[in-house]
Amino acid sequence: MDMQRLGTQTYTGLANATGTAFTLGVVLHDIVYYPIEMSQPRAIGHPGERIRLDLTLGIDSDGDGIPDAWEQSQLYAGGIMPDANGWNLALIDRDDDLDGDGVSNWQEYIAGTFATDPTDNLALQVAATTATHARLRFFGIYNKVYSLESSTDLQIWTPADVFLSNPEPPPVDPEAFTPPPFVPPVAQTSHRAVATDFVDLYAPADTSGRTFYRLKVR
Ligand SMILES: [Ca+2]
Ligand SMILES: [Ca+2]
Ligand SMILES: [Ca+2]
């Protein structure tokens, strides 16, 4: 992107000249997002120069990493409408917790939950336990990627495999004529939500004591 050498066969003609303004599209989970806004001037730097670009998915007036469009949508969802001066985006700062549910506005933005609904946030529930696993439940947001960590002492956390169905073979029924062969689910290090709906995942449990879990989202 740093130079446009006319008349050469060894340099792509798609390269932009120094000082040229440009826009970026970003492919995220197979979805292309436009426009991508940058806090720095949008111009190609000098040849060989490296610059850091902090990107957001739209205008970010206060530069806190959260696009104005999301902040506005959250205020709207919470019934906070613009006045004569427009939207009061100062109401929804990154590190504040507008709905008081203990989850910051920034964390709600990342998790895809409503920052003006205290009943909506990322929460993990142990729905059931089996001999060697726990069935965990949470409300997943479409295309968000979830991963799990477990701990036995709340001090040391390690990544935990997750399964979309129970990895334990069902009990054998001696009355059954020919039980179907059990095909164990594949262990996954993360799960991408295929819908905005409840997600049930199985994770290994420490059979000798308590197991704690925490859910990460990106
Ligand atoms: Ca912002
Ligand atoms: Ca909150
Ligand atoms: Ca919330």
189-202 confidence digits (pLDDT tens): 999 998 889 999 99
Q: How far is the CA of 30 from the centre of ligand 1 (A)?
A: 25
Mean per-residue pLDDT of the chain: 85
Q: How far is the CA of 144 from the centre of ligand 2 (A)?
A: 18
Statement: residue 188 has pLDDT above 70: yes
CA–CA dist 141, 162 (Å, integer): 17
Mind listing the pLDDT tens digit for each residue in 82-127?
999 999 999 999 999 999 999 999 999 999 899 999 999 999 999 9
Quote the pLDDT of residue 46. Answer: 75
The closest ligand to the CA of 113 turns out to be 3
What strand order describes the sheet that includes 197-204?
125-129, 133-140, 197-204
Q: How far is the CA of 145 from the centre of ligand 3 (A)?
A: 19
Mind listing the pLDDT tens digit for each residue in 5-38?
666 676 666 677 777 766 677 777 766 666 565 5
Q: How far is the CA of 64 from the centre of ligand 3 (A)?
A: 18
More confident residue, 207 or 134: 134
Statement: residue 173 has pLDDT above 70: yes
More confident residue, 63 or 107: 107
Bridge-based pairing of strands 133-140 and 31-38 is unpaired
Give 44's pLDDT tier (boundaries 50, 70, 90). confident
Residue range 48-61: mean pLDDT, rounded: 76
For residue 91, the 8-state DSSP code is G
Quote the pLDDT of residue 193. Answer: 92
Q: How far is the CA of 119 from the centre of ligand 3 (A)?
A: 6
Q: How many residues does the chain have?
A: 218
Q: How far is the CA of 159 from the centre of ligand 1 (A)?
A: 32
Read off the tokens for 164: 């979309």
**Global pTM exceeds 0.85:** no
Q: How far is the CA of 61 from the centre of ligand 1 (A)?
A: 6
Q: How far is the CA of 142 from the centre of ligand 3 (A)?
A: 17
Quote the pLDDT of residue 174. Answer: 77
Whole-angstrom Cα Rg for the chain = 24
The closest ligand to the CA of 70 turns out to be 1
The closest ligand to the CA of 121 turns out to be 3
The pocket of ion ligand 1, defined by CB under 5 A, consists of 60, 62, 64, 66
Give 48's pLDDT tier (boundaries 50, 70, 90). confident
Give 170's pLDDT tier (boundaries 50, 70, 90). confident
Q: How far is the CA of 66 from the centre of ligand 2 (A)?
A: 14
CA–CA dist 163, 136 (Å, integer): 10
The closest ligand to the CA of 66 turns out to be 1
The closest ligand to the CA of 91 turns out to be 1
Helix, strand, coil percentages in the chain from 3-state DSSP, rounded to 5: 10, 30, 65
Give 207's pLDDT tier (boundaries 50, 70, 90). confident
